[in-house]
């Protein structure tokens, strides 16, 4: 009987947790709808049927088609034969979007994966004025959702295929999933990873896989590494475990959608934001959610420098990008999958692209709520959710963001911290080279928190200042008001807050070399606290000219300032410095100063 097959397949795959009760109930509702020949109806997560006139018909399951072509579920034997496996693989290559519902509910993931929490994000909810839930896929055994698809694919291979070995190409997270699955299933595996893969992911693959798993670094990006993996399949007969463009992998990732809807039974759920690289997780979640709870939007999020799915949907075909950025390396894919494109093009409601600064800010937001440092790709959904809410003025809705991975390379934290503060604004300001102008400029910025202050003497008339600060909170016009105040006081300003050259390079090079007569260089340290920089500047109320000034707030407990003073040899300066009350070191004879801040022979 079909109903017997349904329960047998679902219970066998889902175990005895509360999740499979939901899966069985949904499956039975679908079965009942099919038996009633409701060819144009659907069923939501709590069993209510509804008519397509209430929504977009393209998002509905055609139950008559399912019934006429194949049963909703197939019986699974404990020992699958080689022939059965090959037939299933062949038939699933061009699987229809309707067919994924069966595969998702039949997916075998919970031997290796866990059912992750749907965590309420208190701070983010208050910040966005919406109810925000984080689906914590970063808490999986490999700290990424990828274990689901990898294990679901490999557990369905024959013993002969496992013994002969599998090969996978991955930027890291899929590789860890394959490595752990290979260890659990006692299979040989070769993991091909791009050369730029973070060390934490390479080491994690080795730790998860053990002696039967080889890590092979090859190529500058995913696509070049994939060519090596394809060679191993062709020349050595190994089985490819594709990271996204495989129906069994897509189905494994789709179990995330099952868990989300189970947790939201009887509760509102308006939007689910999903990270997208090759599209496996996005296709899997959309395949389930849009068949079961069609009024919930599924929105994909991509990095702006690797937006392959966005470009493909716009063109109506799979598009190969000329190049991809590597900051969000877990989602850096030049060519998305044919299977994932077909599903996403039909079922995904919208795509959102975010830039590097928005991803860094999302990592910070994730840490504030979940106390986890997400990797860049793992924070894409949070970044996309924030951008979408702010761009569309959405309030009072319930939305889920998938925190898809936390395999962050520690060396990247410095960059993330530098770029995460979206409130920081940067101005290039021209001030007159006269005594007191320096303090006057700062007094117009105060009490706003100054995060960077860079100046270098250039000529006798005007000085160029690079200053970064955080506008006052709860005042959307504070930055514009500050700029207007500066201009009224004859300080010419240029906003470079979104200038990539200024943020990435010039802020570290501002000033450069100069020939300043009688200049001496000093490093000062003072306890970092609100107003500390202002107090330091006030203490420098002296008759000598300040020819260089650099301050950057790094979040340390001590503020560090580099100051150049035109004074030459002067006993009064020594007395002044000793009574200043701040720790200082003279750097006039430092070779770094001579090489990079002082012009040779008076020539710039």
Give the catalytic positions in this structure. Answer: 146, 404
277: CB partners within 8 A, 6+ apart: 244, 302, 306, 328, 330, 331, 332, 333, 377
CB atoms inside a 10 Å sphere around CB 77: 8
Ramachandran angles phi, psi of 118, nearest 5°: -105, 95
CA dist., res. 376 & res. 172, Å (int): 13
Could you give the C-alpha distances from 324 to 328, 329, 335, 504, in angstroms and in order? 10, 9, 10, 19
Strand runs labelled E in 528-577: 545-552, 558-566
Burial of 549 (0-12, 13-18, 19+ CB in 10 A): buried
190: CB partners within 8 A, 6+ apart: 165, 166, 167, 168, 213, 214, 216, 229, 232, 238
**Strand-strand pairing, 519-527 and 583-586:** antiparallel
49: CB partners within 8 A, 6+ apart: 29, 33, 38, 41, 42, 43
CA dist., res. 191 & res. 402, Å (int): 26
Burial of 396 (0-12, 13-18, 19+ CB in 10 A): exposed
**CA 515, 516, 521 angle in degrees (round to 5)?**
110
**Strand-strand pairing, 271-275 and 492-495:** unpaired
Burial of 266 (0-12, 13-18, 19+ CB in 10 A): exposed
Identify whether 551 is preceded by a cis peptide bond (ω within 30 of 0): no
Q: Which residues are registered as beta bridge partners of 354? A: 303
Ramachandran angles phi, psi of 404, nearest 5°: -90, -10
Ramachandran angles phi, psi of 116, nearest 5°: -85, 160
Q: Which residues are registered as beta bridge partners of 493? A: 429
Burial of 371 (0-12, 13-18, 19+ CB in 10 A): exposed
> Tokens 């010039």 belong to which residue?
506
Query: Tokens at residue 303, please?
Result: 């990095």
CA dist., res. 551 & res. 528, Å (int): 12
Say which DSSP state 211 is in. G
SS3 290: helix
Do 370 and 349 touch, CB atoms closer than 8 A? Answer: no
> Tokens 């006030």 belong to which residue?
538
């Amino acid at each position: 009987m079909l109903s017997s097959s349904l329960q047998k397949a679902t219970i066998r795959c889902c175990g005895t947790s509360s999740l499979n009760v939901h899966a069985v109930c949904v499956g039975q509702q679908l079965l009942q709808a099919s038996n009633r020949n409701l060819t144009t109806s659907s069923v939501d997560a709590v069993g209510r049927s509804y008519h397509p006139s209430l929504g977009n018909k393209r998002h509905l399951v055609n139950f008559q088609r399912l019934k006429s072509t194949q049963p909703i579920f197939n019986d699974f034997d404990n020992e699958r034969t080689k022939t059965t496996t090959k037939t299933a693989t062949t038939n699933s290559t061009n699987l229809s979007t309707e067919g994924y519902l069966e595969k998702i509910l039949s997916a075998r993931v919970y031997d290796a994966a866990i059912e992750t929490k749907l965590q309420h994000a208190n701070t983010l909810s208050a910040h966005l004025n919406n109810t925000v839930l984080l689906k914590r896929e970063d808490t999986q055994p490999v700290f990424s959702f990828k274990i689901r698809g990898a294990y679901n694919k490999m557990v369905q291979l024959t013993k002969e295929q496992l013994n002969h070995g599998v090969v996978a190409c991955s930027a890291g997270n899929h590789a860890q999933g394959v490595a752990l699955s290979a260890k659990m299933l006692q299979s040989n595996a070769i993991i091909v990873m791009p050369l730029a893969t973070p060390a934490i992911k390479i080491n994690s693959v080795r730790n998860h896989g053990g002696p039967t798993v080889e890590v092979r670094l090859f190529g500058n990006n995913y696509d070049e590494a994939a060519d090596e993996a394809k060679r191993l399949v062709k020349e050595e007969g190994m089985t490819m475990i594709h990271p996204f463009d495989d129906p069994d992998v897509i189905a494994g990732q789709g179990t995330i959608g099952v868990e989300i809807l189970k947790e939201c039974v009887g509760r509102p759920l308006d939007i689910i934001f999903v990270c997208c690289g090759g599209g496996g997780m996005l296709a899997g979640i959309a395949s389930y959610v849009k068949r079961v709870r069609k009024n919930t939007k599924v929105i994909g999020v991509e990095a702006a420098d690797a937006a392959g799915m966005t470009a493909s949907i716009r063109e109506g075909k799979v598009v190969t990008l000329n190049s991809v950025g590597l900051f969000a390396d877990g989602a850096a894919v030049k060519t998305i999958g044919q299977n994932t494109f077909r599903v996403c093009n039909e079922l995904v409601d919208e795509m959102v692209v975010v830039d590097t600064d928005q991803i860094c800010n999302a990592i910070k937001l994730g840490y504030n709520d979940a106390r986890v440092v997400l990797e860049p790709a793992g924070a894409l959904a949070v970044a996309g959710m924030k951008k979408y809410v702010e761009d569309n003025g959405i309030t009072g809705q319930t939305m889920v963001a998938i925190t898809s991975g936390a395999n962050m390379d520690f060396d990247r934290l410095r960059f993330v911290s530098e770029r995460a503060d979206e409130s920081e604004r940067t101005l290039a300001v021209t001030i007159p080279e006269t005594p007191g102008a320096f303090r006057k400029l700062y007094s117009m910025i105060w009490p706003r928190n100054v995060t960077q202050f860079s100046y270098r003497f250039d000529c006798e008339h005007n000085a160029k200042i690079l200053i970064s600060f955080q506008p006052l909170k709860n005042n959307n016009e504070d930055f514009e008001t500050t700029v207007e105040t500066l201009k009224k006081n004859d300080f010419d300003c240029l906003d470079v807050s979104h200038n990539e050259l200024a943020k990435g390079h010039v802020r570290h090079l501002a000033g450069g070399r100069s020939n300043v007569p009688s200049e001496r260089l000093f490093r000062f340290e003072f306890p970092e606290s609100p107003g500390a920089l202002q107090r330091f500047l006030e203490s420098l109320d002296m008759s000598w000219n300040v020819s260089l000034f650099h301050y950057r707030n790094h979040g340390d407990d001590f503020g560090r300032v580099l100051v150049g003073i035109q004074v030459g040899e002067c006993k009064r300066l020594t007395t002044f410095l000793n009574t200043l009350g701040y720790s200082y070191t003279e750097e006039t004879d430092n070779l770094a100063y001579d090489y990079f801040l002082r012009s040779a022979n008076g020539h710039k």
